[in-house]
Amino acid sequence: MLLVLSAQADGDTPENLILQTAILACRTPVAEISGLADRLPGMAGSQRGESRPSRRRFSESWTFSLVDGGRIKVERIAPQDRLREVRAEMTHASGHPMLWLRLDHRCAPRDARSVRYDDAGDAVETVYLDARLQPTGRSALINPPVPPGAYRQGVRVAFVDSGVNYLLPQIKAGLARRPDGSLIGFDFWDLDDRPFDVHTPRSLFFVQRHGTRTASIILEEAPEALIVPYRYPRPEMTRMRDLIQHAARHEVRIMAMPLGSNRRLEWRAFAEAARAHPEILFIASAGNSGRNIDEHPVYPASLRLPNLVSVSSADDHGRPAERVNWGPQSVHLLVPAEQRSVINYNGRPGTASGSSYAVTRIAALAARVRSRQPDISTDDLKARLFRDVVKRSAAEYVAVGYLPDPRSDDAAIELTGPHFLLTRPTPVDGLGLNLSIAMVADSGWQESMIPEIVHTTADVLSQCGIALSRAQLFRLRVSPYLMDFQAGTAKTIIDRTMLPTPTVFLVRDTLMALAFEGEAFGTANTSTRPWLRNTVWLIKDVQHPEIALPHELLHVLSDSGEHVGDGDNLMQEQTGPDHTVLTPAQCAHARETGLAHGLLNHGR
């Protein structure tokens, strides 16, 4: 079925008709717009829609019927009676959208799009048009065929979202296929075998992409996983029953669901099917509206199913990130999922944040566990996901806890050393400090720099009667994701190395939301992250590392983040090569607190 709007009188085209209609509706007084149907060719009548007033937007609309059964809807947006823009949309008699146009406040075309259909009447692509409504050469694919691929074995993870861009080599390689090479996934929105990454909550003119980004995290963090992509059935959510049955038939045991809604009735079929398939572990997003879903539920995350895990995104302190949802009864886990590296729909790298990415991080962990234990039960798999949580920071927000590093089970860490940089006795009447330094290999730090940094640190601390009695260097080789400092992944390094404190870690960069070249952690600022206590983290680009190290060490010894403004004081917020002086009061506090916390020892 080829969808074409008929030519209008005098050889006019649909493009000209929608343009004329929009311009006249823009220039004509509101009271006379309905009469435009008598002035334009191909019009059969008009109907005025309801006005939609709001504080920021006031819109009025008219629908013009076309003689061939199609229609043009025009919307004027004029807050406080000041015209902002006019939008027009042309629809085929079948109901298929054909053309969309936006005019600015001067009634000049600024944006236009059309939808191209194939002979069967299926949408193929959204075509971007210029001000003359001619193709620009840019388009957005809607439903391309799945490219051929080869069958391979792996842990199948069902992925329910807006689909994936299976044209990308990175995504194509991670798709689950049948022995004949055909894709196992399905589009339960369009009811075809092309679950392409297309989300159209407004219309086909405004295609959004979500699934490719979220799926890319599973493939990055669990190469053993094979994605079974499903496009969720937004028009008819009862199809979730068929979706789960389809997954079960294809031996899926993990289902990632980075989606949700506020309407419980929409998820009745899902809940019934999920209970009927206890062999599948469902991982659901708590959502991103900044609320407690115990009080204001989000589904399916708020469903109390024994085989469902609900997750949300954590900030650097192990608490819910900005905007995301939580619930001390409904949400199980907080997971670091802010500014995660992803593959965008176009194949380019990017970053993304939110509960959806917490879902795929936990799905990747579940896939890694199943790859090592293929026969693990759903209950045992769920328990394994909860094994390494920290409860302290998350108890008031989630039921189980905060998982600092979902990849810790797969982390590679190799520690060699120590190599002693400095050893000397502590004066009898003084205090001694023993320092561990761990340098991450390939981080950009040069080992030849470290002795000078250590000796300068010793000189600076000596004015406080603190002797750097021993400094030992360890070499760390770690998985790439551990090379940059982040509070959660730091736990994996600290737990696996178990170096004596205070410990200085020399890393490549920082991934903290509030980024610093150096960070120090004592007791006062680690109540929710106790593993960081008595550590210092310096990135390779830190300015004046020979000053930055004693600066951060004094923060640890003093258990204080206080800075001063004196011109040559070590504890200025910005370090400089001449900032080396400490006051008697600063020294006294560092000695007293450092000794009380077991970081300093008396000379013998």
Q: Provide the pLDDT for residue 55.
A: 57
Domain boundary at 389, 409, 429, which? Answer: 409
CA distance 199 to 347: 17
> Does 79 or 98 have the greater pLDDT score?
98
CA distance 470 to 128: 67
Asked if residue 469 and residue 500 are part of one domain, the reply reads yes
Q: Provide the pLDDT for residue 80.
A: 83
Range of the domain at 23: 9-141
Q: How many structural domains are present in the chain?
A: 3
Q: Provide the pLDDT for residue 50.
A: 77
- Does 105 reside within a domain? yes
- Does 567 reside within a domain? yes
> What is the percent of the chain with per-residue pLDDT over 90, rounded to a whole number?
85
Domain boundary at 141, 170, 195, which? Answer: 141
pLDDT surpasses 90 at 3: no
Asked if residue 350 and residue 292 are part of one domain, the reply reads yes
Asked if residue 350 and residue 215 are part of one domain, the reply reads yes
pLDDT surpasses 50 at 1: no
Pick from 310, 160, 166, 133: which is nearest to 230 by CA? 160
User: Average pLDDT, whole number, for the chain?
Assistant: 93
- Does 428 reside within a domain? yes
pLDDT surpasses 60 at 529: yes
pLDDT surpasses 80 at 597: yes
Asked if residue 317 and residue 232 are part of one domain, the reply reads yes
Q: Cβ(293)–Cβ(330) under 8 Å?
A: yes
For the four alpha carbons of 302, 307, 312 and 318, in that order, the dihedral sign comes to: positive
What's the burial of 242, exposed, middle or buried (CB within 10 Å: 0-12/13-18/19+)?
A: middle
Q: Provide the pLDDT for residue 581.
A: 95
- Does 82 reside within a domain? yes
Per residue in 295-344, pLDDT tens?
999 999 999 999 999 999 999 999 999 999 999 999 999 999 999 999 99
Domain boundary at 409, 424, 442, which? Answer: 409
Q: Provide the pLDDT for residue 602.
A: 85
Asked if residue 366 and residue 468 are part of one domain, the reply reads no
Per residue in 215-257, pLDDT tens?
999 999 999 999 999 999 998 999 999 999 999 999 999 999 9
Residue 260 is part of a domain; what is its CATH number? 3.40.50.200
Q: Provide the pLDDT for residue 10.
A: 45
Asked if residue 262 and residue 186 are part of one domain, the reply reads yes
Mean pLDDT of 185-189: 97
Pick from 64, 66, 62, 73: which is nearest to 97 by CA? 73
- Does 3 reside within a domain? no
- Does 150 reside within a domain? no
> What is the percent of the chain with per-residue pLDDT over 70, rounded to a whole number?
97
Asked if residue 328 and residue 473 are part of one domain, the reply reads no
Asked if residue 392 and residue 435 are part of one domain, the reply reads no
- Does 96 reside within a domain? yes
Pick from 56, 92, 83, 228: which is nearest to 158 by CA? 228
Pairing of strands 600-602, 431-440: antiparallel
Q: Provide the pLDDT for residue 322.
A: 95
Asked if residue 121 and residue 198 are part of one domain, the reply reads no
Asked if residue 246 and residue 161 are part of one domain, the reply reads yes
CA distance 266 to 57: 30
Q: Provide the pLDDT for residue 171.
A: 97
Amino acid identity for residue 100 in this structure: W
Asked if residue 275 and residue 403 are part of one domain, the reply reads yes
Omega within 30 of 0 (cis) for the link into 300: yes
- Does 211 reside within a domain? yes
Asked if residue 341 and residue 243 are part of one domain, the reply reads yes
Supply the pTM of this predicted model. Answer: 0.91
* Distances in whole angstroms, Cα of residue 62 to Cα of each of 17, 85, 547: 15, 15, 69
Q: Provide the pLDDT for residue 41.
A: 84
CA 7 to chain centre: 47
Residue 502 is part of a domain; what is its CATH number? 3.40.390.10
